[in-house]
Structure 1
Amino acid sequence: MDSKRRTWLIATGCAGCVAAGGAAVPFVDSLAPSAKARAEGGPVDVDISSLRPSEKMTVLWRGQPVWILHRTPAMLESLNETQPLVADPDSKRTAFPTPAWAQTQWRSIKKEYLVVVGICTHLGCSPVDRFTPGPQPSLPSDWDGGFLCPCHGSMFDLAGRVFKNMPAPDNLVVPPYMYVTDAKVRIGEHEKA
């Protein structure tokens, strides 16, 4: 065979392989789940290293907002005050089951971090932050801080526990989660679940 012809055949074959590989990449990528699908189904890892005390961040998991609140010592102390005022202080109700490890006053693995689904258990509204204690519009004068659902007035303390005689029938939902490291939370998976 002519050496020029062999060179052109090799070059054409290599170009064809590169083109086939380039065409295959988008096809193979299309088989992977989208970021939205991953957020709606599988676990989500969240870096909380920059979350300072009294700050809250929101992440999306299974199409729902999940709040992570870094509670201060004063916020944790307020849970002693709200304990007798909430409808289900130990999260024992079964309509929205709470994992056994979160059936405590803090409703969390590490008491300084609250992790809850930010959807009211009444009609699915999203409560707003009312972390500042004291009298405020639509809140009692002895308010210790927490969350207020503006649609129908349900109030939750800083552990996501609903106060007595509110439209919301249950506490905010605690999703399964675990700490991968001290600075990373995995929402949607618990090592003992």
Structure 2
Amino acid sequence: MSNQGVDPGRRRFLTLATTVVGGAGVVAAAVPFLASWKPSERAKALGAPVEVDISNLELGQRLVVAWRGKPIWVLRRTPEMLESLKKVDSSLLDPESKAKQQPDYIKGEARAIKPEVLVLIGSCTHLGCSPGFRPEHPAPDIDPNWQGGFYCPCHGSKFDLSGRVFKGVPAPLNLVVPPYRFESDVKIVIGEDPKGVA
């Protein structure tokens, strides 16, 4: 067979064009496949970890996100808020958080990995209503010793700025601290324990 009349430049161009188009087809098929590995919104709602960016969360401000169909509160506490925790100990049902309402790595009155960043499940431990954030103090309409915290409008349960329950209210337990870890100084992963914690 003779190769007369065959343009080698055109052959190279067609081979290259076919390779590029084939490569684009492989990428186009791979993108949806790889995207399918990412948890769907439904999977996140059922319990997949949720990343929370707190870079814009100011002192005294609360952010609300959803995890497992529940509201998760992330509160950046001021130094004054942290100092107020000692002032309400005598009014609390479980000031030392002895009831199992948080992971084992959460210790102390701050009930947080980093004291200034509080992470709670925002559901009252009485009947599951979502308490309101009431940081102002004093607030005699809530409690004479109110230093700020969370007030449940459904049945009057009160929690301090660490989610610890007051005595004499319907809620029997402190607010729950979910498993969480810091991915970085400004990113929290809700639903995962810190690395190295079993």
Equivalent position SS for 2:105: helix
2:135 is equivalent to residue 131 of structure 1:
yes
Q: Distance in 1 between matches of 2:84 and 2:29?
A: 60
2:124 is equivalent to residue 120 of structure 1:
yes
Residue among 37, 45, 48 paired with 2:51: 45
**Structure 2 equivalent of residue 111 of structure 1:** 115
Bigger shift: residues 23-32 or 57-66: 23-32
Superposed CA deviations along residues 45-95 of structure 1, whole A, max 9, x for unmatched, are: 11111111000001111111110000011111110101121111111114x
**Structure 2 equivalent of residue 100 of structure 1:** 104
**Structure 2 equivalent of residue 142 of structure 1:** 145
2:165 is equivalent to residue 184 of structure 1:
no
Q: Distance in 1 between matches of 2:147 and 2:93?
A: 16
Q: Distance in 1 between matches of 2:33 and 2:105?
A: 43
Tell me which amino acid in the other structure corresponds to 1:90: E
Tell me which amino acid in the other structure corresponds to 1:78: S
* Alignment size in residue pairs: 188
Displacement of 1:39: 4.0
Tell me which amino acid in the other structure corresponds to 1:80: K
Residue among 84, 90, 101 paired with 2:90: 84
Q: Is the 8 A contact 1:83 1:105 kept in 2?
A: no
Equivalent position SS for 2:102: coil
Q: Distance in 1 between matches of 2:65 and 2:86?
A: 28
Unaligned runs of 5+ in 2: 1-5, 7-14
- From the superposition, tell whether residues 183 and 18 of structure 1 become closer, same or farther in structure 2 (CA, over 3 Å): closer
Give the TM-score normalised by structure 1: 0.82
- From the superposition, tell whether residues 31 and 128 of structure 1 become closer, same or farther in structure 2 (CA, over 3 Å): same
Runs of 4+ aligned structure 1 residues displaced above 3 Å come to 14-33
Equivalent position SS for 1:100: coil
Unaligned runs of 5+ in 1: 4-9
Tell me which amino acid in the other structure corresponds to 1:157: D
**Structure 1 equivalent of residue 174 of structure 2:** 171
Q: Distance in 2 between matches of 1:116 and 1:34?
A: 23
Q: Distance in 1 between matches of 2:149 and 2:169?
A: 14
Superposed CA deviations along residues 164-184 of structure 1, whole A, max 9, x for unmatched, are: 111001000001111111111
Quick one: percent identity of the two aligned structures?
Answer: 50
Q: Is the 8 A contact 2:92 2:164 kept in 1?
A: yes
Equivalent position SS for 1:78: helix
* CA RMSD, Structure 1 to Structure 2 (Å): 2.7
Q: Distance in 1 between matches of 2:160 and 2:67?
A: 22
Equivalent position SS for 1:125: coil
Equivalent position SS for 1:82: helix
